Amino acid sequence: MICDPLDRTIFRDLMKILGSEAGTGRNLQELVISAGKHFLGAPYIDAPLEHRPETLVINLRAFDCFTFVENALVLAGLAWKGRTGFPAYMTALRAVRYRQGRIDGYSSRLHYFTDWINENMQRGILKDRTCELGGRRFRKRIDHMTMNRQHYSALQEEANYREMKETERRLSRRVRHEIPGNALNAAESGIAGGDLIAVLTDQDGLDCLHAGLAIRTGKHLHLLHASRKAGSVVISPETLHAYLAADRRRSGILVARIISF
């Protein structure tokens, strides 16, 4: 395990806050937002989990979009269950980050965000709400990592490459749902603060470009996320609809909701 002593301090302080909020009856979605807002201003960092050999990396000081969402979910869930000890956090983080909760090399980590959502749906933590919000069915070939093998040092090892190739084959067979950007207005009223948002893409081989949390500012839906462009965790100044429209690679969204932990 990799963990800075400051991570334990951050965890302890945050769990006092979230535990108190959970005691007042806040629901899971509200706790997810509270956890996410605690990290506003935290630096963005590329690829925070890359370490060889594969091990549990804990970092509550800086995030990419994936680890930001993941930690907000885990911290909220633990507070909701009253499990505020650091060992419980390590166990929960490992459970949501790795296939079947086991660290078994590089390919055991859930690298693709839609795969991470599906795995945690199977565990009963998340519900994919995209279909009920009017999402359309689609399939897509997923092979971004192996097609860009040169950018992933772990994939230089043939065993890791073969295992990731097989993972991508499974993902390519999976039926998904997507709310296209031009249909977001019709679905927006059904999206709640604290819902997980995967920003999907029509880019070849890739499932999504970005991930964050839905948050309402007044009547409008925005994104609470670790932003590479901003260099930190922010609430996007533009609406989610405007965020999607700003880049034609952002084809639509998938929406998931935490339902248990």
**What is the reported pLDDT for 246?**
95
The SS3 of residue 174 is coil
**Contact (CB, 8 A) for 160 and 107:** yes
Report how far residue 261's alpha carbon sits from residue 258's, in angstroms, rounded to the nearest whole number: 8
Residues in CB range of 28: below 8 A, 6 or more apart: 76, 77, 80, 194, 258, 259, 260, 261
Q: Tell me whether strands 250-258 and 196-201 are parallel, antiparallel or unpaired.
A: antiparallel
The DSSP secondary-structure symbol of 42 reads P
Q: To 10 degrees, the CA torsion angle through 212, 66, 27, 17? A: -110
**Contact (CB, 8 A) for 233 and 71:** no
Q: Which CATH number fits domain 2-122: 1.10.3670.10, 1.10.10.10, 1.10.645.10, 3.90.1150.10?
A: 1.10.3670.10
pLDDT in tens, 20-51: 999 999 999 999 999 999 999 999 999 999 98
Average pLDDT over residues 128-132: 97
Residues of the chain with CATH 1.10.3670.10: 2-122
pLDDT in tens, 162-219: 999 999 999 999 999 999 999 999 999 999 999 999 999 999 999 999 999 999 998 8
86-100 burial, b for 16+ CB within 10 Å, e for fewer? eeebbebbbbbbbee
Residues in CB range of 166: below 8 A, 6 or more apart: none
Q: Which CATH superfamily is domain 127-140+175-258 in?
A: putative xylanase like domain (2.30.260.10)
Residues of the chain with CATH 2.30.260.10: 127-140+175-258
Alpha helices, DSSP H only, in the chain? 5-23, 28-38, 65-81, 86-97, 113-122, 144-147, 158-173, 184-187, 240-245
37 burial (CB, 10 Å; 0-12 / 13-18 / 19+) is: middle
The SS3 of residue 221 is strand
Report how far residue 229's alpha carbon sits from residue 209's, in angstroms, rounded to the nearest whole number: 13
**What is the reported pLDDT for 108?**
98
- Decide: pTM greater than 0.75: yes
